[in-house]
A and B are shown apart, each in its own frame.
Chain A
Amino acid sequence: MTTLLTILVLILVAIAIWQMTKIFELSQIRAENTQVASDKDNKYNGYLMFAFLIFIYGITIFSFWKYTKVLLPEAASEHGGDYDDLMLWSFVIIFFVQTVTQALLHYFGYKYKGEKGKKALFYADNDRLEFIWTIIPVIVLAGLILWGLYTWTNIMDVNDEDDPLIVELYAQQFNWTARYGGADNVLGGANVRMIDIDRANVLGLDESDPYAGDDVIVKELHLPVGRKVNFRFRSQDVLHSAYMPHFRAQMNCVPGMITEFSFTPTITTEEMRLNPDVVDKVKRTNAIRAERAANGEPNSDPWEFDYVLLCNKICGKSHYNMQMKIIVETEEEYNAWMESQQTFSQLMASMN
């Protein structure tokens, strides 16, 4: 791949130099050098306009052919399907408009390239045309706005119906912590002013709050498949953003306030690992990593697919490595895992 790119670059540079020298020669032959485009310049640049149109289509096709595989796999959340549908249709519209307008723009650039003595059409106004290309975007955009707003309202409606699991995601430079409501599924009160690092109360839980005792604090996010999860986000220092791309979910974590997002995971980690797209991706990635291992480079351990939570708001030096693993599993597996976790009161007791 790198060799291919190098060759491509060399060819491009060679073409540029060839063109440059050619143009220099051409300019020297001409007796009068006014630096205003001549018919010859108009002709060549007109052809190049057409070539450029082909280039735009070419790079579009190339990118789709080459890079479609790197896109995120199927959405792993309930609303993710609606999200992907809206995205798909928006893209269909965008690519239709892009293809047509670029074609017109560059084709006109080629077709109407100037010639001495040619008369341009004095065409200053046409109300009907203006009306048409105002009203068409209005209708199309009205459709997209309505569809988008309907989906948005559904996604952002964080409510307590269907017995959601309550989870807090807590951000700090440069790591994530998750807190579960425990047996009562209610998060105990917390504030940065109650943080006591010496006693391992790193999230600042209110030790006197009866709801806090059974809270479970962990460094790996486990979610039962098919159950709605209401996330509450906190940050202790700077802005962070909890980005869970596989679930089409993101929300900023803002010091001084609690933000919310809610989604229902629909595909377990195990199932996702069997998804053909993911299988292929893992295969490709591990091929790259095997090559690195052979060269003795870092980041060469074989990879197994996992959902991941990333930080997506610049937060400082290690912003690029602020992550937490997310595991979606069956209800039973989740319960078994939860059983094995220490509660906050147990943790505090062990500290005393």
Chain B
Amino acid sequence: MSATAHAHVDDHAHDHGHHHHKETFVTKYIFSQDHKMISKQYLITGLIMGIIGIAMSLLFRLQLAWPGESFPIFEALLGKWAPDGVMDADIYLALVTIHGTIMVFFVLTAGLSGTFSNLLIPLQIGARDMASGFLNMVSYWLFFTSSVIMVISLFVEAGPAAAGWTIYPPLSALPMAQPGSGMGMTLWLVSMAIFIASSLLGSLNYIVTVINLRTKGMSMTRLPLTIWAFFVTAIIGVISFTVLLSAALLLIMDRSFGTSFFLSDIFIQGEVLHYQGGSPVLYEHLFWFLGHPEVYIVLLPALGITSEVMSTNARKPIFGYRAMVASILAIAFLSTIVWGHHMFISGMNPFLGSVFTFTTLLIAIPSAVKAFNYITTLWKGNLQMNPAMLFSIGLVSTFITGGLTGIILGDSTLDINVHDTYFVVAHFHLVMGISALYGLFAGVYHWFPKMFKRMMNKNLGYVHFWVTAVCAYGVFFPMHFVGMAGVPRRYYQNTAFPMFDELTDVNVLITVFALIAGAAQLVFLYNFIHSMFYGKPTVQNPWNSNTLEWTAPIEHFHGNWEGEIPHVHRWAYDYSKTLPNGEYVIKGQDFVPQDVPLHKDEEELHH
């Protein structure tokens, strides 16, 4: 940015400063164009969807542990879908489907990336707002609309979509195949199409903002790793979500206009349908072309947050900044060419399976580098065990545990017998579900003061973390064994197979842990809401952090900084940096914020 342009922006911002109190309730809280308010809207919508998604999982866990048992809560919540309190098989599939959809898209994509990209991109790169505040607002309201439609779909007569979150046709295309493929599926597709539009608008905004609006001195190699993660996530989002949109549109055509993109040779309920020449395998390719990058769309922001939180709380620079950036880029690139590992036994050519095995196992390399770098960041640190730090360490732990079983599933040979079993469920819940949730929690605990000007209660945070951490392993570690015993996922009950009888015990154990984990989230919820209103007021930089968002005043207003935007003179990780004489760069302070000019004796690291 040229000097004149810069001056102009500053003038403009000063104008903003004078006008901001004229905002009405509607422009401030509802149709706000301020990225900080939009990020809060994303977070709260995401949390509400999260409550729905997690509650659903607890319901079907009850059914899995005590199959066919009558529960009053089923009758209360599911109504006609639970005659006499016994869960119906169709609604079981619907719960599984909507749980997956909500958690993956609405909580971990919009709730995580939407919240923190919005909050942190302008604040950490030193911008007054997103490149387009208006598009940002539209993006949120499209997300909100899609959430509402998804929730409405739960109440349609024949039940919500129930074909699994991957909604493979023909099951999802034919209302005769299952009741959920009628109106419920239509609403699912409409909701997702709107969601994709929201995601694309958001992503484009993030990309443009990061490229164009960095403050003076904020070179790409001085960006905090959070921003790198959000930036690259937005890029793979733009590349892959568009393909999902095409899959959804073609499926809508097949369902409503009689085309045959994904359907062929179908005989159902006593009649032959007219479809000819399409292929469900084509749908699988299109779906997973998004579906796999989606895993990293969920995970990369969580890893970015972890990098930032871990470095701040370890009072140490993140180890291997360049390697971390390179890993993010490598993961992003590879993530777009591994989708076939979801389809080893779909009937696609086995040679393709070989290629995808190769690329899939390659992605383990940058992932391993990241894990080792996190561990080294802790080494010889001065670890401040704030709740956000605990969740970050927890993330690395589950990321390793869940990631390692990816070596089994990514190997086409080994996938044959564990494909679509509970082994897969255990794997992806640990590596992307739990890890990304931990990233979300780490972010909420860390940036809560920035968002709500108050601190969350740390002790409730500790209870929340430790109970959740124990239960997460309690749920998903034994689940690997269920999968290796051959139990397929998405079974309403395992009673039809005597060979699974002795697994009931394991399922009870898993459900008990899941229920406790669910209860622990109530602690978080209470802490979140209570602290929002009654939490202890924060100081400007509670965690003694280096990044720019903590140089902005506590008070929120459109434009972020009262005066000039701070300039950046160093990277974000000068924690515990000493001068040649052994003293901290700033006397008595173990951190050097990014806007502090270099000390005359200081050696700058070239990253």
Residues of A within 8 A of B (CB): 1-2, 5, 8-9, 12-13, 16, 19-20, 23-24, 26-27, 33-37, 41-42, 44-46, 48-49, 52, 55-56, 59-60, 63, 67-72, 83, 86-87, 90-91, 93-94, 97-98, 101-102, 104-106, 108-109, 112-115, 118-126, 129-130, 133-134, 137-138, 141, 144-145, 148-149, 151-153, 155-157, 172-173, 191-193, 195, 197, 204, 233, 236-239, 241, 243, 245, 248-252, 254-257, 259, 281, 284-285, 288-289, 298-299, 303, 305, 308, 310-321, 323
Q: Distance in Å from the Cβ of B27 to the closest Cβ of chain A?
A: 32
Of A36, A55, A93, A115, the contact of B407 (CB 8 Å cutoff)? A93
B571 to A: closest C-beta gap in Å: 9
Q: List, in ascending order, chain B residues with CB within 8 A of A236's CB.
A: 265-268
Report whether A72 and B407 are in contact in the complex, using a CB–CB cutoff of 8 Å: no
CA separation between A321 and B492, bound complex, in Å? Answer: 9
Please, how many angstroms separate the alpha-carbon atoms of A10 and B482 in the complex?
Answer: 24
> Hey, which chain B residues are within 8 Å of A97, CB to CB?
400, 404
Which A residues touch B315, using CB under 8 A?
Answer: 114, 120
The residue from A122, A195, A255, A318 contacting B576, defined by CB atoms under 8 A apart? A122
CA distance A314 to B178 in the complex (A): 11
CA distance A149 to B496 in the complex (A): 35
**Could you tell me the distance between the alpha carbons of A248 and B416 in the complex, rounded to whole angstroms?**
7
Q: Which of A52, A120, A251, A319 contacts B575 (CB 8 A)?
A: A120
Q: Beyond A34-B536, A72-B484, is A134–B365 a contact (Cβ under 8 Å)? A: yes
CA distance A35 to B280 in the complex (A): 54
Indicate if B174 sits at the interface (CB-CB under 8 A). Answer: yes
Q: Which residues of A contact B372 (CB under 8 A)?
A: 101, 129, 133
Find chain B residues with CB under 8 A from A148 CB.
357, 361, 411-414
* Shortest distance from the beta carbon of A335 to any chain B beta carbon, whole Å: 28
Cβ contact within 8 Å between A323 and B404: no
In angstroms, Cα B536 to Cα A134, docked, is 45
Q: Which residue of A lies closest to B90 (CB)?
A: A317
Shortest Cβ distance from A1 into chain B, in angstroms? Answer: 5
A179: min CB distance to chain B, Å: 16
Please tell me if the beta carbons of B481 and A71 are within 8 angstroms of each other in the complex.
Answer: yes
Q: Are B390 and A255 in contact (CB under 8 A)?
A: no
User: Which chain B residues lie closer than 8 Å to A108 at the CB level?
Assistant: 375, 378-379, 381
* Contact pick for B385, options A23, A45, A155, CB 8 Å: A45
A33: B residues at CB distance < 8 A: 536
- With A83-B416, A93-B407, A248-B416 as known contacts, state yes or no: A59 contacts B474, CB within 8 Å: yes
Quick check: A152 and B455 within 8 Å, CB to CB? no
In-complex Cβ contact of B386 among A37, A86, A318 (8 A): A37
Given contacts A12-B470, A23-B463, contact A314 B164 (CB under 8 A): yes
In the complex, what residues of B have CB within 8 A of residue A308's CB? Answer: 497, 499
Partner of B397, one of A56, A63, A71: A56
Shortest CB–CB separation between residue B190 and chain A, in angstroms? 22
**Which of chain B's residues have a CB closer than 8 A to the CB of A172?**
267
Min CB gap B446→A, angstroms:
11
Determine how close the nearest CB of chain A comes to the CB of B406; give it in whole angstroms.
10
Q: Are A1 and B411 in contact (CB under 8 A)?
A: no
CB atoms of B353 and A289 under 8 A apart: no
**Is B501's CB within 8 Å of the partner chain A?**
yes
Across-interface contacts of A41 in B (CB, < 8 A): 385-386, 458, 462
Contact A106 to B397, CB < 8 A, known contacts A52-B469, A90-B407: yes
**Chain B interfacial residues counted at CB < 8 A:** 138
Min C-beta distance of A267 to chain B, whole Å: 16
B-chain residues with CB within 8 Å of residue A55 when the two chains form the complex: 470, 473
7 contacts between A and B (CB under 8 A): A70-B502, A72-B417, A101-B371, A105-B374, A105-B393, A115-B382, A233-B347
Most buried by B among A46, A124, A145, A288: A124
Q: Cβ of B404 and Cβ of A311 under 8 Å apart?
A: no
Instruction: Report the nearest B residue to A288, measured CB to CB.
Output: B501
Does A152 contact B412, Cβ atoms closer than 8 Å? yes
- For residue B71, CB closer than 8 A to chain A, the reply is no
Check if B316 is an interface residue, CB within 8 A of chain A.
yes
Contact B382 A5 (CB under 8 A): no
C-alpha spacing A97/B367, complex, angstroms: 13
Contacts of A149 in B (CB 8 A): 354, 357-358, 412-413
Q: Does chain A have a CB within 8 A of B589? A: no
Query: CB < 8 Å: which of A122, A233, A289, A318 contacts B498?
Result: A289
In the bound complex, residues from chain A placing their C-beta under 8 Å from that of B375 are 101, 104-105, 108
A133–B369 Cα distance when bound, in Å, is 6
Would B457 and A254 count as touching, CB distance under 8 A?
no
Are A237 and B385 interface neighbours, CB within 8 A? no
**Which residues from chain A contact B535 at a C-beta distance below 8 Å?**
35
Query: Bound complex: CA of A66 vs CA of B52, how far in Å?
Result: 34
CB contacts under 8 Å to A, within B559-592, are: 573, 575-578, 590
Given A52-B469, A108-B375: A114 and B345 within 8 A (CB)? no
Interface residues of B in 277-295 (CB under 8 A from A): 277-281
Asked whether, in the complex, the Cβ of B321 is within 8 Å of the Cβ of A125, the reply is yes
B170 engages A241 (CB within 8 Å):
no
A195 to B169, CA, bound (A): 22
B383 at the interface (CB under 8 A from A): yes
Taken together as a complex, chains A and B put the C-alpha atoms of A43 and B404 apart, in Å, by 30
Contact B576 A121 (CB under 8 A): yes
A267 to B408, CA, bound (A): 26
Chain B contacts of A144 at CB under 8 A? Answer: 361, 407, 411
Known: A134-B365, A284-B502. A124 touches B317 (CB 8 A): yes
Q: Say which one of B237-245, B332-340, B433-441, B505-513 lies at the interface with A.
A: B505-513
* Contact assessment for B177 and A256 in the assembled complex, using a CB-CB cutoff below 8 Å: no
Q: Is the CB of B463 within 8 A of A36?
A: no
Interchain CB contact under 8 A, A252 and B347: yes
Assuming the contacts A59-B477, A130-B323, asked whether A239 and B379 have C-beta atoms less than 8 A apart, the reply is: no
A63 engages B93 (CB within 8 Å): no
Contacts of A52 in B (CB 8 A): 466, 469-470
Report the 8 A-B pairs with minimum CB-CB distance, sorted nearest first.
A256-B264, A245-B486, A156-B350, A45-B385, A35-B455, A259-B347, A303-B498, A320-B491
User: Which listed residue (A36, A239, A281, A313) contacts B458, Cβ 8 A?
Assistant: A36
Asked if B163 CB lies within 8 Å of chain A CBs, one says: yes
Question: Could you tell me the distance between the alpha carbons of A91 and B605 in the complex, rounded to whole angstroms?
Answer: 41
- Closest-by-CB residue of A relative to B536 is A35
**Chain B contacts for A141, CB-based, 8 A:** 361-362, 364-365, 407
Pair B171/A316 contact, Cβ less than 8 Å: yes
Interface pair A316/B502, CB less than 8 Å apart: no
**Complex: A144 Cα to B364 Cα, angstroms:** 12
Given contacts A35-B535, A152-B353, A281-B502, whether A94 and B408 have CB atoms under 8 Å apart is yes
Decide if A237 touches B490 in the complex (CB within 8 Å).
no
Q: Are A251's CB and B347's CB within 8 A?
A: yes
> 14 new A-B pairs (CB below 8 Å) besides A108-B378, A124-B320, A153-B354?
A20-B459, A35-B536, A37-B384, A60-B477, A114-B382, A133-B372, A137-B364, A141-B364, A148-B361, A148-B411, A236-B267, A238-B174, A308-B497, A317-B89
B488 engages A122 (CB within 8 Å): no
| CB atoms of B317 and A145 under 8 A apart | no
